Amino acid sequence: MIHKRRIPHTITKATTEIQKKDNIIKRDFKADKPLTKLLTDITQVQCSDGKLYVSAVLDCYNGEIIALEMRETMKKELCIDTVKQLGKLNNCILHSDRGSQYTSTEFRKELNQLGIIQSLSSTGRCYDNARMESFFATLKKEKIYRIPTYKMTRKQVKRIIFRYIFCYYNTQRITSFNPDGMTPIAYRKLACETLA
């Protein structure tokens, strides 16, 4: 029996030019000012009515999650709508892996409109986005793995993740990345006062 060659149907086409872009941050996850160096990625959570894909943006300055989008698919629109929440950020660097969502022409166009410079991990180097991966590991360890999400709807899990991030992680959780373990919001406020 002769089998036909399988042609993969990817979610989003990646351009050759974008695949050649450099890894600008080179695992340097520190920033001197807010909104100058950002990280982004997607993770998934199994719910009773299917998978929930979580897209977030982390500010390297204070570890704050400054954008969040959750959908039932991980198409490029998930990532585009996540970065749209950032608004205009001239010369800010946004780092991600080389997933097809991030290398799509549409995503790149959105970054250009926002004045954001794209940085991409090297192929097959998961540590190139380690700080973002660390956030998702914390989210899962401290919240997701402690509740039976597989018995809960996407809507219920979305609410839980939103509350964890914006009512606890950003505002109450101490972090070793910040001086004296300051919370992300407290450290950002201190920066605003210093830079004023």
Q: What's the predicted TM-score (pTM) here?
A: 0.86
Kindly state the helix (H) or strand (E) to which residue 186 belongs, with its residue range.
helix 184-195
Helices (H), 41-178: 76-84, 100-103, 105-114, 130-142, 154-163
Whether residue 195 is predicted with pLDDT greater than 90 in this model: the reply is no
**166 DSSP 8-state letter:** I
Kindly state the helix (H) or strand (E) to which residue 18 belongs, with its residue range.
helix 16-19
Please name the residues in contact with 133: beta carbons below 8 A apart, sequence gap of 6 or more.
41, 126
Domains of the chain: 16-195 (3.30.420.10)
Whether residue 34 is predicted with pLDDT greater than 60 in this model: the reply is yes
Identify the pLDDT of residue 191: 81
Identify the pLDDT of residue 86: 97
Q: What are the pLDDT digits (tens) for 122-159?
A: 876 777 899 999 999 999 999 999 999 999 999 999 99
Percentage, residues of the chain above pLDDT 70:
87
Identify the pLDDT of residue 196: 58
Whether residue 10 is predicted with pLDDT greater than 80 in this model: the reply is no
Q: What are the pLDDT digits (tens) for 82-136?
A: 999 999 999 999 999 999 999 999 999 999 999 999 999 887 677 789 999 999 9
Please name the residues in contact with 170: beta carbons below 8 A apart, sequence gap of 6 or more.
64, 65, 183, 184, 185
In the numeric block, which tokens belong to residue 148? 């039976």
Say how far apart CA 153 and CA 151 lie, in whole Å: 7
Residue 22, CA distances (Å) to 56, 191, 196 in order: 22, 29, 34
